[in-house]
Structure 1
Amino acid sequence: MRPEVQAFVADGHLPNCDADEEEIDRRVNQLEAISAPVTADEADALAACFGPDDCYGVAWSLLHLIETSPGPVPPVALPGADATEWHRTLWNRWGNR
């Protein structure tokens, strides 16, 4: 896994819209440092980084980066009741093809 992906993943979930501007900008800069396409392993790791909301659109950028992977992000099973909006979105856009 590339160092820029490891750094993004190490910082955990994206913050919510209530986070301060500096934190959101920092995560945007980290995300923009990751060049596409990502590997399947990188996509899997990045998929665990969605936060509770769209973080002013940053979550959509993360989703689009994940979609540059050559294959579906595991797991491709139907998301359960406890799945986040973002995992359902990945399923709807990619996992059930």
Structure 2
Amino acid sequence: MRAEVRAFVAAGPLPDWDADEEETDRRDRQLRAIARPVTAVEARALLTCFGPDDCYGLAWSLLHLVETGPDPVLTADPGPDANAWHRRLFLRAANAGLVP
């Protein structure tokens, strides 16, 4: 796994809308430092970084980054209690016909 991905994952889930601007900017810089595409291992690790909301759009950037992996990272429905971003990733893959 590349150092940029390890650093992003080590920082934990994205903060919520209450995060200060400095933290949001730091996570944005970390996310932008990750070159696309990601590997399957990196995509799975990045799944742990979704927070409770869209973090001023950073969660969308993270979702699109995860989708650059070679295969859908979620191949089974994560269930109704899963993180909304995990559900969104699965539904996008299902709607594209990539998973049953």
Amino acid at match of 1:53: D
Runs of 4+ in structure 1 off by over 4 angstroms are none
Tell me the distance in 2 between the aligned counterparts of 1:12 and 1:94: 24
Tell me the distance in 2 between the aligned counterparts of 1:64 and 1:78: 19
Provide the residue aligned with 1:84 in structure 2: 83
Provide the residue aligned with 1:39 in structure 2: 39
1:68 pairs with 2:91 = no
Gapped runs of 5+ residues in structure 1? none
Length-normalised TM-score, structure 2: 0.91
Q: Secondary structure at the match of 1:16?
A: coil
Deviation at 1:77? 1.1
* Count of matched residue pairs: 96
Gapped runs of 5+ residues in structure 2? none
RMSD, aligned α-carbons: 1.1
Length-normalised TM-score, structure 1: 0.94
Provide the residue aligned with 2:14 in structure 1: 14
Tell me the distance in 2 between the aligned counterparts of 1:67 and 1:47: 11
Identity of aligned residues (%): 66
Provide the residue aligned with 1:28 in structure 2: 28
Q: Secondary structure at the match of 1:26?
A: helix
